[in-house]
Amino acid sequence: MAVPISTAAGLDAAAIRADFPVLAEQVHGRPLVYLDNAATSQKPRAVIDALQTYYETYNANIHRGLHALSERATAEYEDARARVARFINAAHSHEVIFTRGTTEAINLVARGWGDEHVGEGDEILLTEMEHHSNLVPWQMLAQRRGASLRYIPMDAEGRIDLEAYARMFGPQTRLVTVTQMSNVLGTITPAAEIVQIAHVHGVPVLLDAAQSIPHVPVNVQELGADFVAFSGHKMLGPTGIGVLYGRESFLDAMEPLFGGGSMIRVVQLHQSSWTELPYKLEGGTPNIAGAIGLGAAVDYLQAVGMPNVTAHELELTEYALALLSDVDGVRVFGPPDATDRGGVISFYVGDVHPHDVGTLLDAEGIAVRAGHHCAQPLMRKLGVAATARASLYLYNTAAEVDCLAAGVARAMAFFA
Ligand code: PLP
């Protein structure tokens, strides 16, 4: 694997860009400026090569074969699990369950843990800025079990009122489930404090880390979270692979969501028993190539150094916030101080519909997202139907932020 260049002074974005083939593409005759990283990230050559090597040289099903290819595929798949476990500092690699992504990981907890532990009259605490993936599964659970959702007070910039949160706990509080970084506002939530307060009341916490783990160092043991969900495709890995981290005792107390091959110990005609973790929660043939690709993505991020990734994005976010707020008529959402947030920047340009902003920017080769970002309740709280959203990653540059700001200024002038 080519080792990406990073120095004590930070990372070398130009050298990193050379590792990402798609970044050399032209869009509508212009160099691609890819600022849709919160939706999905681009993939370095090392990840693409890992997928290709698997399919070209050792493609086989895992865990059941006695032949050489199957043994190698099994070893690489389990090695990827171990690397992901080290990346987030899980105590054991069997605390890493491979899923299709964050959505599946959260649904696995809502079904496998929630159906067992949440009942009539119980309460689940969450925020109004959750992605639909960390909202709809809990609505479904609440409807199945006669429980209810309660929303932790927060301001329009996504800052959680910790004192009010601490007062919400009662004998029927069963779970706290919050995002670690908002995919709309960029707000980084005080995850460690949220966990600490919940644990005083003996209540477990799930962190939706889909937007945080790709961008900031996350140490699950230090945070103390009981469940952490994230997606490979947002952290340089392939689509269709993600992770549910769970503390062993919690995963042990879960029922599998998928019955089938690989997750059983003994199958009889009328009943079966389950095998040990992590396989109990990974029924069926998993996304073997995806897991191996995610392992390569984790290696890449570690070679760059997660603190370098965070520092680079902080610098770019500060710059982008300054440039965008200088454009007359542009309203930027989320915390104004870049140190309270990640590089997800939602904005509104005068009275221009965000879709029109997105279309104009696309004509200049600039990829941003426009819409409700799977956060309709938050859109209502902000009083808008949609926003435009630019989101940064390790390969973005200050020159690309200049392109964005110039494009936004042109959109403003075009519709004035
Ligand atoms: N949670 C957050 C905060 C997200 O930003 C996303 C994706 O945008 C998800 C959950 C869902 O991730 P996936 O679609 O990969 O399951």
d(CA 185, CA 346): 6
**What average pLDDT does range 322-334 have in this prediction?**
95
pLDDT in tens, 289-307: 999 999 999 999 999 999 9
**What was the pLDDT predicted at 176?**
99
**What was the pLDDT predicted at 414?**
87
pLDDT in tens, 175-222: 999 999 999 999 999 999 999 999 999 999 999 999 999 999 999 999
3-state helix, strand, coil in the chain (%, to 5): 45, 20, 40
State phi, psi for 342 to the nearest 5 degrees. Answer: -100, -170
pTM of the entire structure? 0.97
Q: Whose CA is nearest to atom 5 of ligand 1?
A: 183
**What average pLDDT does range 310-316 have in this prediction?**
97
Give the number of other CB atoms < 10 A from CB of residue 259.
13
The CB of 179 under 6 Å from ligand 1? The reply is yes
Distance 103 CA to ligand 1 centre (A): 6
pLDDT in tens, 29-83: 999 999 999 999 999 999 999 999 999 999 999 987 789 999 999 999 999 999 9
pLDDT at 99 over 70: yes
Catalytic choice (374, 378, 388, 390): 374
Nearest to 363 by CA among 42, 106, 32: 32
What domains lie within the chain, and their CATH numbers? 13-31+305-414 (3.90.1150.10), 48-303 (3.40.640.10)
The CB of 133 under 6 Å from ligand 1? The reply is yes
**What was the pLDDT predicted at 245?**
99
The answer to whether 191 touches 180, Cβ cutoff 8 Å, is yes
Give the number of other CB atoms < 10 A from CB of residue 55.
11
Q: Say whether 374 is catalytic.
A: yes
Q: Give per-residue burial for 375-396: e unless 16+ CB within 10 Å, then b.
A: beebbebbeeebbbbbbbbbbb
The CB of 103 under 6 Å from ligand 1? The reply is yes
**What was the pLDDT predicted at 277?**
97
The CB of 183 under 6 Å from ligand 1? The reply is yes
**What was the pLDDT predicted at 8?**
46
**What was the pLDDT predicted at 415?**
82
**What was the pLDDT predicted at 288?**
98
pLDDT at 409 over 70: yes
State phi, psi for 300 to the nearest 5 degrees. Answer: -65, -50
pLDDT at 5 over 50: no
The CB of 396 under 6 Å from ligand 1? The reply is no
Q: Which residue has the tokens 């997800």?
A: 344
**What was the pLDDT predicted at 6?**
47
pLDDT in tens, 225-274: 999 999 999 999 999 999 999 999 999 999 999 999 999 999 999 999 99
**What was the pLDDT predicted at 10?**
77
**What average pLDDT does range 14-20 have in this prediction?**
97
3-class DSSP assignment, residue 353: coil
The answer to whether 327 touches 401, Cβ cutoff 8 Å, is no
pLDDT in tens, 111-129: 999 999 999 999 999 999 9
Per-residue pLDDT band at 1 (split at 50, 70, 90): very low
Helix (H) or strand (E) holding 46: helix 45-53
Distance 404 CA to ligand 1 centre (A): 24
Name the amino acid, one letter, at 170. G
Name the amino acid, one letter, at 248. E
Q: What does the DSSP 8-state code read for residue 386? A: -
Among the atoms of ligand 1, which is closest to the Cα of residue 231? Answer: 15
Ligand 1 pocket check: which of 128, 136, 178, 211 to mutate, most ligand atoms within 8 Å of Cβ? 211
The half-sphere exposure of 68 on its side-chain side, counting CA atoms within 13 A, is 2
Distance 376 CA to ligand 1 centre (A): 14
